[in-house]
Structures are given as structure tokens and as C-alpha cells.
Amino acid sequence: MATGAGFADYVLERLARLELVGVRKMFGEYALYCDGKVVGLLCDNQLFVKPTEAGRALLGEPLEAAPFPGARPWFLLGDDLDDERFLTELVRRTADALPVPPPKKPRARRTKKPR
């Protein structure tokens, strides 16, 4: 079951206090970005947050589950999703704990083959 756009909008509404937060559709699901870093996945209308020590410290004993078959376990949020302050703090701490992604290499230009 793919995640609906309405659920993605709901999560973004909860995170409205954060700057530079957004989602990108990927394979019928969504990746949640904060400061250019993937901090979560929206899969099957559930929010999975990338596991970090900072997130674990805030959550205590988090529920962990794989967002899709074959994936490593991520933190699965349940009722915490409705608490805007808590969710905002969790996403901010997770983003702060993750390394800055390397800059993307420019794509090579395609050239036409001479005939």
C-alpha cells in the first residue's frame, strides 16, 4: 500500500515550525528531508525516523520496525506523530545528528553523435 499525499501533507503540517523541511516522492512512498538530510520515511501511511542516538535519547525505548522489506529497522512513530512539539524536536535532533550529505556531482552533458 502506497502512502497518500494527504498523509505527507499531515506530517508536513506537524513540522511547520521547522525550516528547510520537505518530502520527496520515491517509489510510491516519501522521504522526509530536513536541512537537506533524509531524516525519515513515510511508508504505508506511517512515519519512520532514521535511528540516531539523539533520537533514541528523546524517545526512550522506541518501537523499531523496517519501513519496507529488507530494510534495517527505523524508529516507528505512533501517537507521537500527533504531538507537534515532540515531533519537531525529534526531527531537529535527528537532522543535527546526521552528517552533511556530500555535494552532488554535476551530470555529464550528453553530446549528439555525429552521423
Q: 94-109 pLDDT, tens per residue?
A: 999 999 888 888 888 8
Q: Is residue 110 part of a domain?
A: no
Has residue 63 been placed in a domain?
Answer: yes
Predicted pLDDT of residue 115 = 65
AA identity, residue 59: L
114 pLDDT more than 70? no
Q: Is residue 87 part of a domain?
A: yes
Name the domain count of the chain.
1
What is the reported pTM? 0.85
| 47 pLDDT above the threshold of 90 | yes
pLDDT score of 42 more than 70 = yes
Q: What string of H, E and C letters represents the secondary structure of 42-83?
A: EECCEEEECCCHHHHHHHCCCCEECCCCCCCCEEEECHHHHC
Name the DSSP letter for residue 80.
Answer: G
Q: Does residue 102 fall inside a structural domain?
A: no
Q: What span, in angstroms and rounded, lies between the C-alpha atoms of 4 and 42?
A: 9
**Domain-located, residue 29:** yes
In the predicted structure, residue 53 carries a pLDDT above the cut 80: yes
Whether pLDDT at 110 is above 90: no
Q: 75: which 3 cell numbers?
A: 524508529
84 phi, psi to nearest 5 deg: -60, -45
The pLDDT of 82-91, averaged and rounded, is 94
Residue 46 pLDDT more than 90?
yes
In contact, 95 and 39? CB cutoff 8 Å: yes
Query: Could you list the residue range(s) of the whole structural domain that residue 45 is in?
Result: 5-97
Distance from C-alpha of 51 to C-alpha of 76, rounded to nearest angstrom: 10
CB 86 within 8 A of CB 80: yes
CATH at residue 24: 3.30.1460.30
Is position 114 within any domain? no
User: Quick check: is 56 in a domain?
Assistant: yes
Classify residue 21: in a domain, yes or no: yes
